[in-house]
Amino acid sequence: MSGGRSGLLRQYDFRLLWCGETVSRFGSSISAVAMPLVAVVTLQAGTMWVSVLTAAAWVPWLLFGLSAGAWVDRVRRRPLMIACNLGSLLLLASVPVAAWIDILTMAHLLAVALLTGCASVLFSIAYRVYLPSVVAREDLPEANAKLQGSESVAQLGGQGVGGLLAQTLGAVTGLLADGVTFLVSTLCLIAIPGREPPPGKPAVPTRLRKDIREGLRYTVRDPYLRLLTAYGAVTNLLLTGCHALLTVFLVRELAVSEGAVGWLLAAGGMGGLLGALVATPTARRFGTARGMLLCKLLTAPLGLLIPMAAEGWRVALVALGCAGLSVGVVCGSVIQGAFRQAYCPPELLGRITASHSVANYGAVPIGALLSGVLGTAIGLRPTLWLLTAGLAVSSLLLAVKPLGGRRDLPTAPPTRTSGGAERTAVSAAADRDM
């Protein structure tokens, strides 16, 4: 385990995990551009079909996200992550193969999005639960910041490369490139020498359904987890609605080329990188709770620049709006990720992560479908105005209790004193916050 700020970079286990995840995120960012471009350009799909395609990748969170969390708490995470990577590789490779022999259909594309989404559910939960076994508890904020930062860099490069690949070699080639990154990620996971500790077994064997209820009940009853989960669901619904329409908006209303689409969307990666860089200093200067609220309040209104875009130089407003939103999203994710990993009981972390993720990612297909319906009914630009306006005011949710008035998020769940008052392991610090 590390003993200082630079220690994580000297840890071989973390370095492999970091490199593998960064490469995988790079590939996923290529697919984020390539998949809708395959639908729009290759298959000539309409606005509603593109929204359905976006939704298909996230529907698995609603279907079995809670079950996945309970299952991840029962198995070793690294072998599960490897299996998910290899399955995604084969699925993505099937798209260019089908295109090359001229049998690619929208149904095939939807099936690949749905099944890779299933693999992503398991991988995402396992990855978050696996991280605390690779780094020390006190290093979790730094580890999350580094992972979020490299994810943003990967998004920046991946979306730009995705656009260029689509313009020069065809959008389906981008999906093949994503498949290769899953192979690299798998090799990095295999090379991690540290032996993963076996998952904790309950003293009395329990059914999967009971495990699910336990994680869900803990999330709903805890005031901090409940509020952060609700906030994440609202913002994810609105953000996904925007992103589901951006490719169609850029290509059909702003006459942007396929290559330029990738670079404009990649601007979100630049904002994400900035968010990762400022997360730790902001939390240190203003406190984790207050710093997260401040960052969100300052960045969310920048999303209103997106529907202001037009042909010519005003296309850049899309890039500025995406970058602004990404600063707040990534800064908040870094702070919240470290909070959950330190705050939640280790034996429940998979189920709590799943409960949080189901609410957050389960809102994604709803947001995508809602934006498709609205975009078809009232037009793309009016729909983008509605969604970005919602994002501009959603951050006020973080100002309500129990977060309102606090400087820092707690590092341990509330306990009861003899007088019935709620206290935490950092109650003295919390008292000073008020």
**Residue 109 near residue 51 (C-beta atoms within 8 A):** no
Give the pLDDT confidence of 131-148 residue by residue, as tens digits.
888 887 777 777 877 776
Average pLDDT over residues 190-208: 66
Mean pLDDT of 363-370: 84
Q: Higher model confidence: residue 424 or residue 157?
A: 157
Of the ranges 180-194, 233-247, 375-389, which is most confident?
375-389
d(CA 316, CA 306): 9
Q: What is the pLDDT of residues 236-268, one digit of tens each?
A: 889 888 888 888 888 888 888 766 777 777 666
**What does the pLDDT look like over 301-349, one tens digit per residue?**
999 999 998 888 888 899 899 888 888 888 888 888 778 877 888 777 7
Q: What is the reported pLDDT for 108?
A: 92
At residue 420, the pLDDT reads: 37
Closest CA to 34 of 109, 88, 91, 86: 109
Exposed, middle or buried, 269 (CB in 10 Å: 0-12/13-18/19+)? buried
Q: Is 197 exposed, middle or buried (0-12, 13-18, 19+ CB in 10 A)?
A: exposed
For residue 218, pLDDT over 90 is answered with: no
Predicted pLDDT of residue 110: 92
Helix, strand, coil % over all residues of the chain, rounded to 5: 80, 0, 20
pLDDT recorded at residue 424:
41
Lowest pLDDT segment from 49-53, 318-322, 386-390: 49-53
If one compares 3 and 119, the residue with the highest pLDDT of the two is 119
Report the candidate in 243, 242, 226, 209 with the shortest Cα–Cα distance to residue 359: 226
Percent of the chain with pLDDT over 90: 11
**DSSP string spanning 226-290?**
HHHHHHHHHHHHHHHHHHHHHHHIIIIIS---HHHHHHHHHHHHHHHHHHHHHHHHHHHHH-HHH
- The pLDDT, as a whole number, for residue 390 is 92
Instruction: Give the per-residue pLDDT at 432.
Output: 37
The per-residue pLDDT for 124 is 82
pLDDT at 391 over 70: yes
Of the two residues 427 and 317, the one the predictor is more confident about is: 317
The pair of three-digit structure tokens given for residue 112, joined into one six-digit string: 């690949």
- Domains belonging to the chain, first-starting first, are 11-193+207-414 (1.20.1250.20)
What percent of the chain is predicted at pLDDT more than 70? 85
* Whole-number pLDDT of residue 401: 82
Per DSSP, the chain holds a count of helices (H) and strands (E) of 16, 2
Residue recorded with tokens 């901090």: 224
pLDDT attached to residue 83: 92
Global pTM reads 0.65
What pLDDT does residue 172 have?
80
376 near 241, Cβ under 8 Å? no
| Residue 296 CB contacts under 8 Å (≥ 6 apart), including other chains | 328, 331, 332, 395, 398
